[in-house]
Structure 1
């Protein structure tokens, strides 16, 4: 059963990637598209293989920063949502502030993160955590509020307190919303880390893209984009697998 489920999930993605590859390769060959506008996929793959050591190290650094920021932001967002459920006054006080901060594009805070935490991993982790925490907060808060009043009253009638209701009812009901927040947060984390690296970093995929662009090395730019996209796809696949374990009843 699990084997069939994996095939049904992987096969459509594989077919879509292959179709895109042949369409792209064929279009660039048929219309003789200049390489600086859109290079051929085979040239990009060759460039990625030629720079595999550099791209591999850069990818490792970028995804280490993205994952650490993702985990930190997810924990902060989930903890804030739980605190607001247990103390509704906190939601009325703090949620408008969080909404106001999130209404500003995350990239606007990148210069501040670079000033406060430097050009190393600290600034990338901080900005990723900031981007992830709000997505997790909203989704977790929505999920924790989903239990019906009758279910809450039933648990209270059996003597369950706020923490007992949270553990036995609110968290299980909120799991689909929490996993949705994790999926959104993972994408936001990767994007913000790469953008932050492009604006200031010692290394990483974003810095490779920035340097290759300044040198008009379009093959390396596309190779870095290809490698980061593949890495993001792998991480997303792992998150989907975790989703099926945590929310197995869906």
Structure 2
């Protein structure tokens, strides 16, 4: 019997790679076998060739989008966890913050794009704000659920020993909430990239969404797929990094 704790992760990675290779192989055979035009479904080899020839432009666009995504992700995470802390430490605020956050999240975040672009311009700032809006609610819900898991009997016990509110927060509430906070961070990675790319398509000076929009305008669908592939790789890398951090910080799970 294997005692390697990383074995399940390696097996999952191997299965993922095998599934991806099988999917691309079927995709290639279908596109070539049926001689599909590129505007319907280009072959994977054609997309990979375009990625190579346009690697400089696509690399710069990916770096631009990742910069927006990471900045908005960190800002939104800080806002979400901060609001959850406020609600936890000041319970009367729950009746105000939770309904307000739910009302904002009930509207698709893309609906705010025209206003955000009008207020903050076409540059990176508007994309960072959009990503922060999208991520903050996910992080707020995850962090609040984590803080609510704390057993009040444990809180009362620490208080009976003279623990301050800060000590209870640092030694009890945060460790208890950490698994759910990190799960929210992991789920927010993909959302942050999606929102950044969609907002770039509505108005931007660079990024993968801008590349996709420009390629659609000139009817270059191989370029569209190339940008989508790069976006998927960036999303997987971001997701993998946060998942790795989660495994290291929440090692007892």
For 1:235 and 1:94, how far apart are their aligned partners in 2?
A: 30
Give the total of aligned pairs.
250
1:60 aligns with 2:63: yes
How large is the Cα RMSD of the aligned pairs?
1.3
Map of 1:240 onto structure 2: 243
1:73-109 Cα offsets, whole Å, 9 max, x none, are 0011111101110001111112111111110110011
Map of 2:165 onto structure 1: 162
1:132-188 Cα offsets, whole Å, 9 max, x none, are 111100110000010223222222222223222211111111111101111222121
For 1:235 and 1:93, how far apart are their aligned partners in 2?
A: 33
Map of 2:20 onto structure 1: 17
TM-score, L = length of structure 2: 0.95
Picking from 19, 38, 42, the partner of 1:39 is 42
Runs of 4 or more, structure 1, over 3 Å off, are 1-6
Map of 2:132 onto structure 1: 129
TM-score, L = length of structure 1: 0.96
Map of 1:102 onto structure 2: 105
Q: Superposed, which structure 2 residues align to 1:1-250 within 5 Å?
A: 1=4, 4=7, 7-250=10-253
Q: Which consecutive residues of structure 1, in runs of 5 or more, have no partner in the other structure?
A: none
**SS of match in other structure, 1:119:** coil
| Cα offset, 1:3, TM superposition | 6.2
**SS of match in other structure, 1:21:** helix
For 2:180 and 2:216, how far apart are their aligned partners in 1?
A: 39
For 1:75 and 1:132, how far apart are their aligned partners in 2?
A: 10
For 1:189 and 1:226, how far apart are their aligned partners in 2?
A: 17
For 1:148 and 1:86, how far apart are their aligned partners in 2?
A: 14
